Amino acid sequence: MYLYLGKMKAVPPMTPNRNKTVILSEGAKRRSRRTPSDSPAPIPPEPFSHEPGCPTHGSHLAMGGRIATAITLATTLLSAQSKPTPTITFTNTAPESHLAFTLHSSTSPHRYSIETMTGGVAAFDYDNDGLLDLFFTNGAEIPSLEKSNPAFLNRLFHNNGNGTFTDVTEKAGVGGIGYSMGVAAADFDNDGFTDLYITGVNHNQLLRNNGNGTFTDITAKAGVTGIIPGIGKAWSVTAGWIDYNHDGLLDLFVVNYLNYDLKTAASCSTHKIVTYCSPDDFAGLPNILYRNNGDGTFTDVSKESKIGSYIGKGMGVAFADYDNDGFTDIFVSNDTFPNLLLHNNGDGTFTDQATSAGVAYNQMGKTVAGMGADFRDLDNDGRPDIFHTAMFGDAFPLYRNLGDGQFEDVTSPSGISLSTVKLTGWGTGAFDFDNDGLKDIFTANAAILDNAEIAEHQPYPLPNAIFRNAGRMTFKDVSPTAGPSFKLSAPHRGAAFGDFNNDGRIDIAVTVLNGPAELLMNRTGDDSKNTHNHWIILKLVGVRNSKGGDNHDGLGTQIKITTSKGSQYNEATTATSYNSSSDKRVHFGLGDSTVIDTIELRWPTGIHQTLHNIKPDQILTITEHPDPKP
């Protein structure tokens, strides 16, 4: 993002817990790498199978008729609804929920760039009680970059299950050190408890969940300090967990921003008013890939994996297997720098394919201020698409996955451009907020400068936005009807997504720079004029043993569900948005479908698993178990 607002520069109450466990068997086999002869058949996007027990096995990237198929399915999913379309509606319940968190950035007269960048949040269940808790990152005193008083502590809030939260920071031992930025949540040691990795300016932290409500800082012992040889501690903005080599252990990808030092950082101005400097004034940094050794330690494999070969100014990261070769790939949205699409070669190395794939630049052939990102299938064709936020003057890019490793910028025809060109966005996520079978898009918005009104006569606080998926890869801005909380302007930053009251509707936690956090509870369908659509949430449990297997969270698992209305696709991940981490459980909206014909899973190591005739409106735990051989 541009950290100034000057001339744009072109550069090529809770419901009862509905958790239900039905799959308890175990079994898995390890495949550290596949060859063409042993690769499992991909989960096919077409043709669609509507008969339980008879999934098709066509090519995931079959070119013939792929666009027509996607359009047909999207149209079917919409037209097949016999009920009125619910109005997407949210209510900010943070005050009555006792979610008392204020993000402090230590705004200084100098306007150091780090001040406008903090604000991460994670939605995760730290105590395994079936309810999503919330963790917020926080800033520190400037220039010491230390948490000199309690106002700067990172905070953990326990979900009480009755619509309220309790601050358990002190008991859990997660107050943190240094000037924190983002957070990534996952179970890296496969002990069944979710751990936290916090990124920051002067300190990164790995907090191991002890399983008793407390965490232990094991950063140094684990070897994940965020130090780059020859450079030192990098300014890390965000991170994500990925099993890139299919050994059943979650590895850590750390996104770094600028080679920036408060001691030498110049002060910048616009019209003689001190402002944040442009990222063009600083060199970018390589990102870091830490391989999980399985013994509580990690090895920096940035060099041998080629990850360290690519310089960027990263702000967002999202994972998906965009070419369906069975290996999870990485998208990094960069700030005024070409984006990265790091293709997983399956041999422990990555190659940047962003330019050749068509996602390095926007539709005008220029870089934008890339911020938060998501990497999900938006048109139900089985291929994950890419969306990321940007700065006003440049619309938020939407790239449609065409197959064969190619993407098309559909920002303008999608209808996203008209609304987002006037916005600056940070956190974002693609989720089915109205449960109609199509993923919608949320963006957390605000300008960069806290003195934007004076410096550039532009508003600093902005309202959040929500874009309803209308099918055929088109979106409608429904923010004006999404409730009073979408009319509230604030300096929003990070956003995390998940169902906080287990009612089947995706809620949103949003951070506000130097302001109170927002908890946007999804009330879609509560209006008496509307009716609820059906849904299902899948909690995956990967199985790992001495012979290998999959990570406990099942991250990287590809899922296809089929109902009488057609098929949908998703992939298990916690990496989305900006600086933030979302629920590991996988959500699907089902419209008015009263049964799911099949749920097909392809676990990271290639294990295929199929469930038949599943009832909707439940949180279903699926433990990895391979289908019987024919």
Res. 186 pLDDT band, cuts 50 70 90: very high
pLDDT of residue 31: 29
Report which of 154, 240, 156, 242 is spatially closest to residue 203, judged by C-alpha positions.
154
pLDDT of residue 248: 95
Cα separation, 602 vs 195, whole angstroms: 24
Which token pair is 239? Answer: 């991170």
* Beta-bridge mates of residue 537: 587, 619
Note the pTM of the prediction, 2 decimals.
Answer: 0.87
Alpha helices in 393-525 (DSSP H): 416-420, 452-456
Cβ contacts of 62 within 8 Å, gap of 6 or more = 44, 46, 403
- Which of 78-92, 382-396, 414-428, 606-620 is the least confident region? 78-92
Q: Mean pLDDT, to the nearest integer, of 349-365? A: 96
Cα separation, 185 vs 582, whole angstroms: 8
Which token pair is 472? Answer: 């055929």
Cβ count near 281 (within 10 Å): 14
> In this model, does residue 531 exceed pLDDT 90?
no
Quick: pLDDT tens for 30-87.
223 333 333 334 444 433 233 333 333 333 333 333 444 444 444 444 444 445 678 9
pLDDT of residue 629: 66
Are 132 and 122 within 8 A, CB to CB? no
CA 303 to chain CA centroid, nearest Å: 26
Q: Mean pLDDT, to the nearest integer, of 161-178? A: 98
Cβ contacts of 54 within 8 Å, gap of 6 or more = none
At the topology level, CATH places domain 90-522 in: Methylamine Dehydrogenase; Chain H (2.130.10)
The overall average pLDDT reported for the chain is: 88
Identify the residue with better confidence: 39 or 560: 560
> In this model, does residue 16 exceed pLDDT 90?
no
pLDDT of residue 610: 97
Quick: pLDDT tens for 149-159.
999 999 999 99
Q: Give the neighbor-by-neighbor strand order of the sheet with 288-292.
A: 236-242, 251-256, 288-292, 298-300
Cα separation, 506 vs 168, whole angstroms: 24
CATH 2.130.10.10 placement within the chain = 90-522
> In this model, does residue 595 exceed pLDDT 50?
yes
- Which of 101-105, 313-317, 532-536 is the least confident region? 532-536
Which token pair is 394? Answer: 């440049």
CATH 2.60.40 placement within the chain = 534-623
Quick: pLDDT tens for 316-347.
999 999 999 999 999 999 999 999 999 999 99
Are 283 and 233 within 8 A, CB to CB? no
Complete DSSP assignment for 43-106: PP-SSPP-STT------TT--TTHHHHHHHHHHHHHHT--SPPPPP-EEE-TTTTT---BB---
Cα separation, 194 vs 453, whole angstroms: 42
Res. 266 pLDDT band, cuts 50 70 90: confident
User: Which amino acid, residue 46?
Assistant: E
CATH 2.60.420 given to domain 534-623 = no
Q: Mean pLDDT, to the nearest integer, of 598-611? A: 96
Cα separation, 39 vs 525, whole angstroms: 43
